[in-house]
Amino acid sequence: MAFPVDMLENCSHEELENSAEDYMSDLRCGDPENPECFSLLNITIPISLSNVGFVPLYGGDQTQKILALFAPEDSLTAVALYLADQWWAIDDIVKTSVPSREGLKQVSTLGERVVLYVLNRIIYRKQEMERNEIPFLCHSSTDYAKILWKKGEAIGFYSVKPTGSICASFLTQSYQLPVLDTMFLRKKYRGKDFGLHMLEDFVDSFTEEALGVRYPLSSLMYTACKQYFEKYPGDHELLWEVEGVGHWYQRIPVTRALQRETLKIPGRSKICNHC
């Protein structure tokens, strides 16, 4: 069975949005007494103009949108997206039927951008974010990001602000070093060194002599960095905790940040994705 990420391999934003607009036209002309329904587990959701709407795929960028179906009791939580001419449940959108899509894969296609959106905005923000965590901002259409695939399912991601890229909060300033901006791993896969694997991949993907990690360290990032230094004790001067764009006065060694976080009570907050 093919899933949206496989079917949208060569699809453009325009084609996806045109398909959704055609569907909305049909919906407006439909019989409200006999609505189309979407089945989700043991729930059947009638589809009507009142619970369907376009949402921006890239946050503040309103030019690229996808069509979402919302639960009757929660008008803010999408339970399905209209992709490849049909409705897909959220759990199916993060699946793939392509065996080569395994491990960390850089996001490049529209289908992968949709998977990244679902992992960040729906699965993380609506299902797995802790109460005291600061949510990630939406990823843009050009953000450098990698999705972690395991046995046909997307289980996490990380994104990077490369050297020279413009900081959204300081439009006249650019990043002074690559900064690991966000990292997410689904709860059921934690405790298995996947965070360390993503941090290792980040280090291997950039050649600069100094690499940044967004301040403040998340619980996942704290654990990954701690494991990294245990495995690579010679890399203590490689990783820096970064605020802003990472000028020399906006960074401290991650080893010092780990000491600070260890002393904190109670626990740590999630990465604050300011830029």
pLDDT value of residue 156: 98
Most confident of 59-68, 121-130, 219-228: 219-228
Q: Give pTM, 2 decimals.
A: 0.92
CA distance 36 to 16: 20
pLDDT band for position 262 (cuts 50, 70, 90): confident
Does the pLDDT of residue 179 top 70, yes or no?
yes
- pLDDT above 90 as % of the chain: 77
**Per-residue burial over 30-43, b = 16 or more CB atoms within 10 Å of its CB, e = otherwise:** eeeeeeeebebeee
Domain ranges of the chain: 1-154, 162-266
Count CB atoms within 10 A of the CB of residue 6: 16
Give 123-166 as a 3 state SS string: HHHHHHCCCCCCCCCCCCCCCEEEEEEECCEEEEEEEEECCCCE
200-223: average pLDDT:
95
Q: What is the pLDDT of residues 122-142, one digit of tens each?
A: 999 988 988 777 788 889 999
